[in-house]
Amino acid sequence: MTNQQLFEQHIIENLNSAYRFAYTYTKNQEDAEDVVNESVVKALKSVHSLKNPTRLKTWFYRIIINTAISYIKRNKSIVYLNPMDMAEMNENSEQLSDIGLEQMIDMLDPKYKSIVVLRYFEDMTLEDIALTLNENVSTIKTRLYKALKILRIEMEEVL
Amino acid sequence: MNDKLEKMRKEYMEIKPSEQLKDSIETILKNNKHRNNPWRKIMGVVAGLAIVFIVSLNMSSVLATTISDVPGMEGIVKVLTFARYEVKDNGYQAKVKVPKIEGLLDQKLQDKLNQDFKESANTIILAFESDMEELQKQFPGEKVNLGIDYGYIVKTDNSNTLAIDVYMVNTVGSSSTTHKFYIIDKKSQTIVTLPSLFKTSADYITPLSDYIRAEMKRQNEKGENTYWVDDPTFGPFAGIKVNQNFYINNNGDIVICFDKYEVAPGSSGSPEFVIPEEVVKDIYN
């Protein structure tokens, strides 16, 4: 199978997970779909030069992240925080036990957010996350720890 | 896994795309099979280098003639293209057509409208140029899809009404279209607003909204369209606004207009609903 065929198979099987991941950046459906479309186009352009086809998954997630970030920069869309969300975030830590996905997405910087999403929702290993984000594993661990601290989630419960 | 994370994970898994995503990806994969044609690469480069830049005020001498200067033509209301602005450079595209009304006996009204047109166009051109400059700094030499298309369509031009649709298509990412309508009653030489069509203190919002909602449901059921009438994500149709976009068509009927994405997904464009006479005959002014 050529790289291109491998990628075609991958995207068809993992379309929803690519979309969900893009959504954590764009926070709305249309933009997330545009980002996925653009990422697929970009991937098809350079898939032949992918040296290690087993790394297809992490490679494609990387493309989605880059595409999402430059898409957001280009569109400069202003996201107005619902006053209720803001009030919730400003209240003391007891209230944060009700934190949901949307608040998490708004609270975390992209470099922390993607680690939490890839680790706990897409079930990636720390090694694969390191490859996706082009960092070393210890950096990923440090950031994961920081992210969970921001979310007020105790490390012992999850590791 | 921790409860909080488990809850977030569940919410995450609920995030689903529309049906269109699968279709668009399949299209991309299909089209990709035709790639790898060396000529396509060369064409792409040539197209990217084309820069077309036209700015002209008071265009050609033909258009510059004020129609109302011609004897017998006073009071003939017409719309002309006052100016054009175009940019085509490496994915950056702008097409701006500015309208100008002539022939209104009410000179003050005419001046105000024309001033309005010029100012909106200027604002858009400035915003576009500033975005373009910003993007060229961030992505020097790269092709960036930034596009605007601003122009006007004369919807109705008969002895009673002049209706102009000034539209703006923003083609960054998923393109969006907004409209602003100008309706002039030629007989009274006034601008027609939606509330002014109806008797004072008459509720026009309810009957119009009800009619449109029913019409949306009918079209959805027939498979003709996909309006957001009771959509889980976009909610129910909230009815028309006090100053909802509209125009009067050639038959004298009210046509209620929505911007792209206002009441339906992008595939429905900018929907319009012709309101039958029975719906408004009791409250019509």
Q: How far apart are CA B121 and CA B144, in angstroms?
A: 22
SS3 label, residue A77: coil
Model pLDDT for residues A66-124, shown as the tens digit of each residue:
999 888 887 765 444 444 444 444 444 444 445 677 777 777 888 888 999 999 899 99
At residue A158, the pLDDT reads 54
Is the Cβ–Cβ distance between B202 and B283 less than 8 Å?
yes
Report the DSSP beta bridge partners of residue B184: B162, B191
Interval A122-148 mean pLDDT: 90
Predicted confidence (pLDDT) at residue B198 exceeds the cutoff of 60: yes
Q: Do B13 and A121 touch (CB under 8 A)?
A: yes
Interval A46-72 mean pLDDT: 89
| Percentage, residues of chain B above pLDDT 70 | 84
Interval A41-60 mean pLDDT: 88
Q: How far apart are CA B114 and CA B106, in angstroms?
A: 12
HSE (side-chain half, CA atoms, 13 Å) at B154: 14
pLDDT band at A157 (very low <50, low <70, confident <90, very high): low
DSSP E strand stretches across B117-271: 146-157, 161-170, 176-185, 190-191, 230-231, 235-236, 246-248, 254-257
Least confident of A32-41, A120-129, A145-154: A145-154
pTM for the model stands at: 0.48
Interval B101-113 mean pLDDT: 87
Is the Cβ–Cβ distance between B209 and B240 less than 8 Å?
yes
At residue A154, the pLDDT reads 54
Q: Do A30 and B138 touch (CB under 8 A)?
A: no
Assess A91–B contact: CB distance below 8 Å, yes or no.
Answer: no
From chain B, the residues in CB contact with A151 under 8 A are 4
Assess B28–A contact: CB distance below 8 Å, yes or no.
Answer: yes
* Distance (Å) from the alpha carbon of A119 to chain B's nearest alpha carbon: 11
Predicted confidence (pLDDT) at residue B16 exceeds the cutoff of 50: yes
Least confident of A26-30, A77-81, A104-108, B140-144: A77-81
At residue B45, the pLDDT reads 38
At residue B90, the pLDDT reads 79
| Nearest Cα residue to B108 out of B191, B180, B49 | B191
Interval A14-40 mean pLDDT: 92
At residue B239, the pLDDT reads 92
At residue A99, the pLDDT reads 64
Cα-Cα-Cα-Cα dihedral of A85, A66, A159, A57, to 10°? 130
Model pLDDT for residues B113-126, shown as the tens digit of each residue:
999 998 888 888 88
Overall size of chain A counted in residues: 159
| Averaged pLDDT score across all residues of chain B | 80
Q: Do B12 and A19 touch (CB under 8 A)?
A: no
From chain B, the residues in CB contact with A33 under 8 A are 17-18, 20-21, 24, 174
At residue A91, the pLDDT reads 47
Assess A2–B contact: CB distance below 8 Å, yes or no.
Answer: no
**Minimal Cα distance from A103: which residue of B?**
B8
Assess B18–A contact: CB distance below 8 Å, yes or no.
Answer: yes
Q: Which of residues 101-140 of A touch B (CB under 8 A)?
A: 101-102, 104, 117, 120-121
At residue B279, the pLDDT reads 92
Q: Which amino acid is at B282?
A: D
Q: How far apart are CA A68 and CA A106, in angstroms?
A: 15
Q: Which of A12, A30, A46, A123 to mutate to test the interface with B (most CBs of B within 10 A)?
A: A30
At residue B173, the pLDDT reads 57
